[in-house]
Chains A and B, each alone.
Chain A
Amino acid sequence: MENPWVYLGLFLIVGLLIPVAAIVMSAILAPRKPNPIKMSTYECGMETVGDNWIQFKAQYYVFALAFLIFDVETVFLFPWAMSLNVMPLFVAVEGVIFILILLAGLYYIWQKGMLDWV
């Protein structure tokens, strides 16, 4: 285990192969008798009404946008968190100011109604 990333790459490949092996076993052993009623789409026992790929609700996009902003912020906070043991106190206070600026952003979108589920 000299190079940890080689081990990790092998782990990823084997980890993907195990579920594939399970599905292949099922494909070999299971029966296959398709008929039109069995293959039709499920909608509580009736015929489907309307298009199957329904309209995308815009509120999901707004939540994803808010998630993106705060996720990038947390990625910036990881090196700051790791270095607190070896840096002077003003570094901690600087990180606190950074978080406060972004929390002001959260307060803004809260008051504007972006976080409501309409």
Chain B
Amino acid sequence: MEFLSDPIKVIYEWLMLTFTGWSWAGWVSSLVINLLAIVGFISAIMVLDILLVWVERKVVARFQDRLGPNRVGPFGIFQPFPDIIKLILKEDITPEGADRVPFNLAPILSLGSVLFLWAVVPLASRIYGVDLNVALLYLVAAGSIGTLSIIMAGWASNNKYALLGAYRMVANMISYEIPMVVALLIPTVLAGSMSLKTITEAQSTNGGVWFVLVSPLGALIFLIAAIAELGRSPFDLNEGESEIVSGYHIEYSGMKFGLFYAGELLHAFTFGGFVAALFFGGWHGPWAEQYPLLGAFYFVAKAMFGYWVIMWVKYTVPRIRIDHMLAFNWKFLTPLAFALLMVTAVVHRVLLDVPTWLYVAGMFLSNVILVWITVEVLRAQARREREAKASAQLAAAD
């Protein structure tokens, strides 16, 4: 029964007892237990990654009105395993003139940067990797290593198209980091801490509300900026097969390409997990405090829902052009994100000591007013452009 209420502590004490029974020093057994925990956790994430390949292919098939893999095992669930075996056995072609060190390092950093993110994610009330008090800054920093790996891949490939694709992709990713970081500041303001564990607890314990109810616009801005950071459609200039033939992936074959692909899917799922942890209450749910394993199940379910929304957007809307994309970021999302941050900070500070329902209603109303002002500004702008075009046409017709 105690295992159900605090699994990590029970396993830790049992292993500690075993190792000191074998007369190992205290710090050695602690180090070995940590290593076992890390390897177990990362292996679980990689198995999840393999499952995500199957989920992605089935979902894209259903969106496109076809069936998807259904031969290899029940509902095609073993399909990713022959895919991985095939990728390992393919020849690894390094083009002539390619820079060897960045060429080999880029896929490692690309998948590694996603694995780094899982260290700070709270899976349940007592199951988490590390309780960093700067977890949100760590998130942005580890995400930037992925951006670095893209430039390394593009530069080292000795190929014009790879370099062009890498430049455009990195311009995209660094531009959308600004609204993403500002949208990350909003749960920081609401919870008063950067630590993911504290933010999740602020939404669940003693009368906290999920932050999506308090600041829905913040959740939306974070979702849009996260989809752009991932490099997924509609912002996937880099995988524009019809434009620049797969961008910085061109010269990669075999397992290196497999690492890029798996890294992208896992990155999407990780951002689904972050949306769940930051805005949808993380592991919060009925009876989640007494049974941490149930909390972990709620978290994975919410992360899967976030991942499904990201996939839904990918397979519904067409690709955006690069100048539209950058204009959308710098001229719309960044000012909107900063305006939302200012309004959230002031309203949160003013409404700090009022009862919960008034607080939630006040914050939600401030978001609604901000959306209404934005829509009015856009409509005025569109009206001005329409009138300018109409008068230009009249002037040209004379």
B317 within 8 A of A: no
A93 within 8 A of B: yes
- Bound state CA distance, A115 and B323, in angstroms? 9
A67-B175, A92-B346, A117-B327 are known contacts. Are A78 and B137 too (CB-CB below 8 A)?
yes
A2-45, CB under 8 A of B: which get 1 and which 0?
10111110111011101110110111011111101011111110
B382 within 8 A of A: no
A89 within 8 A of B: yes
Chain A residues numbered 65-95 whose CB sits less than 8 Å from any CB in chain B: 66-67, 70-71, 74-75, 77-78, 81-86, 89, 91-93, 95
- Bound state CA distance, A34 and B265, in angstroms? 31
Q: What residue in chain A is nearest B346 (Cβ atoms)?
A: A92
- Bound state CA distance, A31 and B174, in angstroms? 38
- Bound state CA distance, A71 and B177, in angstroms? 8
On chain A, the number of residues with a Cβ less than 8 Å from chain B's Cβ atoms is 74
B34 within 8 A of A: yes
Residues of B within 8 A of A77 (CB): 182, 185, 341
B321 CB to closest chain A CB, in angstroms? Answer: 9
Complex contact A54–B323 (CB within 8 A)? no
Interface size class of B (residues with CB under 8 A): 35 or more
Complex contact A43–B331 (CB within 8 A)? no
A78 CB to closest chain B CB, in angstroms? Answer: 7
Q: Which listed residue (B39, B174, B342) contacts A67, Cβ 8 A?
A: B174
- Bound state CA distance, A96 and B163, in angstroms? 40
A64 within 8 A of B: yes
Sample of 18 A–B contacts (CB below 8 Å): A2-B30, A7-B129, A10-B38, A12-B119, A14-B39, A19-B111, A26-B254, A30-B91, A39-B95, A39-B96, A54-B164, A56-B167, A60-B170, A63-B174, A66-B330, A74-B185, A78-B194, A115-B330
Given pairs A84-B345, A115-B331, 6 additional interface contacts (CB within 8 A) = A2-B30, A4-B132, A11-B42, A42-B250, A82-B188, A100-B342
Chain B residues within CB distance 8 Å of chain A: 30, 34-35, 38-39, 42, 46, 87-97, 104, 107-108, 111-112, 115-116, 119, 129-132, 136-137, 155, 158-161, 163-164, 167, 170-171, 174-175, 177-178, 181-182, 185, 188-189, 192-194, 245, 250-251, 254-256, 258-259, 322-323, 326-327, 330-331, 334-335, 338, 341-342, 345-346, 348-350, 352
